Structure 1
Amino acid sequence: MENNVKMQFDQAAPSYDDKHGKLIPCYDDFYGAAVTWTELANDAPYILDLGAGTGRLSAMMLDKYPGAHITLVDFSEDMLQKAKARFGDHPNLEYIAADYLTHEFERNYCAVVSSLSIHHLTHEDKQVLFRKIRSLLKPGGVFVNADQAAGSSPAFAAEFKRLWLEAVTATDLEPEDIEASKKRRLLDIDATLTDQLQWMRDAGFSEVDCVYRNREFTVFVARA
């Protein structure tokens, strides 16, 4: 499964940024909530971006915290190359091409953030990752995950997907771009909102909540 996901995103990397926003009908609110809820007392925080892709979320974090030190991790080197082109020679950015589930990180972070990545993991690996994230956070740190959550029943899940397809079809995306996205989404392993909140509690986070949801697009916040 992991190799299939990597291959899909390697292939999508060249034009990913051009189409990404149109494939998320609630893009501005969705990412905006993730940035808003990454509340840190430090003006130069250390932030870890899991599944950073082309660096969209990291760029938003830098806008909020210009002095931030950000580590971008993704198993698609092609995606990270796009991120490097976005940021140039910014001195406070580090890039790691690796599987963040198994990579051994060498420091702790004020915040761990992620967007549209963790839903590719099996449910068991999601739980392993949540425990790992908890161990990587400094006291008072925060985990913010802008991701997908399955509907609470097959009927809701199907309706979410139908409404998503209706919305993206109404954009100016080419049919082949929509078909490519549909193909990538076949690899999704969405977990329900309720299950993910419980897994974060089980991982040892002291406060956990869903702060934004538009059908499957969901922003979770978990505080250490």
Structure 2
Amino acid sequence: MENNVKKQFDQAAPTYDDKHGKLIPCYQDFYGAAVTWTEVAGDSPLILDLGAGTGRLSAMMLNKYPGAQVTLVDFSEDMLEKAKARFADNDNLTYIAADYLTYEFGRTYDAVVSSLSIHHLTHEDKQVLFRKIHSLLKPGGVFVNADQAAGSSPAFVAEFKRLWVESVTATDLDPEDIEASKKRRLLDIDATLTDQLQWLRDAGFAEVDCVYRNREFTVFVARI
């Protein structure tokens, strides 16, 4: 499964940024909530971006915290190359091409963030990762995950999918781009909102909540 996901995102990397926003009907509010809820002390926080891709979320974090030291990790080297080009003039970034589930980071962070990545993991691996993230955060740290959450029943899952297809079909995306996105989404392993909140509690987070949701697009916040 991991190799299939990597292959599809490697293939999408060259034009990913041009299309990404159109594939998320609530793009501005979704990412905006993730940035708003990433609250840390100080002007130079250490931020870890898991599944950073081309660096879209990292760029938003740097707009909020220009002095931040940001580490971007992704298993797609092609995606990270796009991120390096995006941040060519910024020396405050570190890039790691690796599987964040197994990589040993060797330090702690003020915030761990992620966008549209963790839903590719099995449910068991999601729980392993949440425990790992808890261990990577400094006291008072925050984990913000802008990701997908499955509907609470098959009927809601089907309706979310129908509404998403309806939304992206109404954009100016080429039909082949929409089909490629549909193909990538076949590899998604979405967990329900309720399950993910419980797994975060089980991982040791003191405060957890859903701070934004528009159908499957969900922003989770978990604090130490």
The question of a shared fold, defined as TM-score above 0.5 by the shorter chain, is answered with yes
Count of aligned residue pairs for this structure pair: 224
Task: State the distance in 2 between where 1:17 and 1:142 align.
Answer: 27
Matches within 5 A, 1:52-63: 52-63=52-63
- Output one character per residue of 1:69-128: Cα deviation in whole Å (capped at 9) or x when no partner: 000000000000000000004111000000000000011000000000000000000000
Query: How far apart are residue 214 of structure 1 and its match?
Result: 0.1
Task: State the distance in 2 between where 1:65 and 1:36 align.
Answer: 11
Please tell me whether residue 13 in structure 1 is matched to residue 13 in structure 2. Answer: yes
Equivalent position of 2:109 in the other structure:
109
Task: State the distance in 1 between where 2:201 and 2:187 align.
Answer: 26
Please tell me whether residue 159 in structure 1 is matched to residue 190 in structure 2. Answer: no
Equivalent position of 1:82 in the other structure:
82
State the one-letter code of the partner of 2:211: V
Structure 2, unpaired ranges of 5+: none
Query: How far apart are residue 199 of structure 1 and its match?
Result: 0.1
Please tell me whether residue 119 in structure 1 is matched to residue 119 in structure 2. Answer: yes
> What root-mean-square deviation, in Å, do the aligned CA atoms of Structure 1 and Structure 2 show?
0.4
Equivalent position of 1:95 in the other structure:
95
Partner-residue secondary structure (3-state), 1:166: helix
- Output one character per residue of 1:185-215: Cα deviation in whole Å (capped at 9) or x when no partner: 0000000000000000000000000000000
Matches within 5 A, 1:134-153: 134-153=134-153
Task: State the distance in 2 between where 1:59 and 1:70 align.
Answer: 10
Question: Which runs of 4 or more aligned residues in structure 1 lie more than 4 Å from their structure 2 counterparts after TM superposition?
Answer: none
Query: How far apart are residue 42 of structure 1 and its match?
Result: 1.5
Structure 1, unpaired ranges of 5+: none
Task: State the distance in 2 between where 1:18 and 1:65 align.
Answer: 25
Equivalent position of 1:32 in the other structure:
32
Task: State the distance in 2 between where 1:131 and 1:38 align.
Answer: 19
Partner-residue secondary structure (3-state), 1:220: strand
Task: State the distance in 2 between where 1:120 and 1:81 align.
Answer: 21
